[in-house]
C-alpha cells in the first residue's frame, strides 16, 4: 500500500513537472505610443501573474529584481515594468517632455490589459511600492474583478499632509539640538516643495535625523542627478500633492494588503494607518515593519514570504 502511494505521488510530480514551463524573458511592448520594457520570470507559466509597480517616479526596479522579487518567482510569474522615462524604457525612448499623472495611469492600464491578454488570464496580482501604489490603487479601483489582490508597500495617501508633518517634526528635532544650520535651511522649505533644492534640504535633514550623515560635498556630487529628476518628474510630483486618497477612494472591491514602516515619515505611517482603518474592502490586512519608507531594501525577503503566505490561504 505504501509503495503504491509513493508511486502515485511520484507520478503526479512527474506530470506536473512535465507540464511546467519556465519563463525568463524580456520584451519591448507598445504602450502609450512608445516601446516600453518588461521583464518576466517564473518557474511555471501556469502560476498566477504578479505585476510589480516600481517607486519613484523614475526609479525602475527591474535591475534589482533578483533582490526584491526572486523568491516570488517560485510561485508566481513576476513581471517588472520599467515605466515611461525610467530604466530600460528611457533607453528605448529619448526624453521628450514631462509626463502627467493621467498619462502614467493610462500606461499602467495598457500594461495590465496586455498581460491579461498575453497570459490568457482573468486576474492579476499587483505588488506596488511607494509611487507605484498610486498606479496600483488606480488599477484596483478601475478593474476590481481583474485584480486578485493588491499589495501596497509604503502607500502614498496624502503627500501634502505627510510632508507637513515630517517638516514640523524635523524643525522640532533640530530646535531641541540647537542645530542652526539645519533650522536655517529648513525654514526656507515650503510644502509642497517649490524646487528640487527644497526637496533635497528636507530629505537631507531627514536622513541626518535618522542617523545618516549627508555632507555638502555629497549634495553637490549628486546635484546633476537631482536636476535631471526635476526636469522629468517635478510636474507629476506637484500633481501628486493635489491628491488625498482618503477623500478620493473610500472603498475597494478586491483584497488589499498594506506594508508599512513604523518610522516612515515620507508617506507618513499615521496617515496610512488612519486610511487603512477607514478603507472598506472584502479583505484587508496591515503588516508593520521596523523600518522607514524603504521597506524593500532591508525586508524584501519577509515581504515576499508574507505575500506567498497570504495568497496560499
| pLDDT score for 184 | 97
What would the pLDDT profile of 139-162 be if each residue is shown by its tens digit?
A: 999 999 999 999 999 999 999 999
What would the pLDDT profile of 257-271 be if each residue is shown by its tens digit?
A: 999 999 999 999 999
Residue 9: pLDDT over 50: no
Residue 301: pLDDT over 50: yes
Residue 31: pLDDT over 70: yes
| pLDDT score for 7 | 52
Where do the domains of the chain lie?
10-158+246-312, 159-240
* Mutual angle of helices 216-240 and 101-118, in 10-degree steps: 80
| pLDDT score for 112 | 98
| pLDDT score for 5 | 46
What would the pLDDT profile of 220-260 be if each residue is shown by its tens digit?
A: 999 999 999 998 899 999 999 999 999 999 999 999 999 99
Give yes or no for a cis peptide into 57 (omega within 30° of 0).
Answer: yes
Residue 94: pLDDT over 90: no
Return the CATH superfamily for domain 10-158+246-312: Alpha/Beta hydrolase fold, catalytic domain (3.40.50.1820)
Amino acid at each position: 500500500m505504501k509503495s503504491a502511494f509513493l508511486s502515485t505521488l511520484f507520478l503526479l510530480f512527474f506530470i506536473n513537472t512535465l507540464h511546467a514551463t519556465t519563463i525568463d524573458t524580456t520584451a519591448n511592448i507598445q504602450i502609450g505610443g512608445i516601446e516600453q520594457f518588461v521583464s518576466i520570470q517564473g518557474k511555471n507559466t501556469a502560476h498566477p501573474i504578479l505585476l510589480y509597480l516600481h517607486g519613484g517616479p523614475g526609479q525602475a526596479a527591474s535591475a534589482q529584481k533578483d533582490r526584491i522579487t526572486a523568491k516570488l518567482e517560485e510561485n508566481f510569474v513576476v513581471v517588472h515594468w520599467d515605466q515611461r522615462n525610467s530604466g530600460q524604457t528611457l533607453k528605448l525612448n529619448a526624453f521628450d517632455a514631462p509626463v502627467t499623472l493621467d498619462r502614467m495611469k493610462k500606461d499602467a492600464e495598457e500594461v495590465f490589459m496586455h498581460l491579461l491578454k498575453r497570459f490568457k488570464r482573468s486576474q492579476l496580482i499587483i505588488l506596488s511600492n511607494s509611487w507605484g501604489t498610486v498606479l496600483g490603487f488606480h488599477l484596483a479601483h478601475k478593474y476590481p474583478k481583474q485584480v486578485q489582490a493588491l499589495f501596497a508597500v509604503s502607500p502614498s495617501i496624502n503627500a501634502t499632509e505627510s510632508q507637513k508633518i515630517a517638516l514640523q517634526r524635523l524643525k522640532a528635532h533640530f530646535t531641541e539640538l540647537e542645530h542652526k544650520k539645519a533650522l536655517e535651511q529648513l525654514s526656507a522649505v515650503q510644502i509642497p516643495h517649490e524646487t528640487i533644492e527644497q526637496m533635497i534640504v528636507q530629505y537631507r535633514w531627514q536622513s541626518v535625523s535618522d542617523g545618516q550623515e549627508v555632507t555638502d560635498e555629497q549634495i553637490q556630487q549628486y546635484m546633476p542627478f537631482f536636476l535631471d529628476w526635476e526636469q522629468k518628474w517635478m510636474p507629476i510630483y506637484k500633481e501628486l500633492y493635489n491628491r488625498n486618497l482618503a477623500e478620493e477612494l473610500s472603498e475597494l472591491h478586491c483584497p488589499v494588503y498594506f506594508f508599512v514602516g513604523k518610522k516612515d515619515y515620507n508617506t507618513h505611517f499615521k496617515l496610512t494607518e488612519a486610511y487603512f482603518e477607514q478603507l472598506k474592502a472584502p479583505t484587508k490586512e496591515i503588516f508593520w515593519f521596523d523600518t522607514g519608507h524603504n521597506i524593500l531594501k532591508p525586508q524584501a525577503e519577509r515581504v515576499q514570504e508574507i505575500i506567498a503566505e497570504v495568497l496560499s490561504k
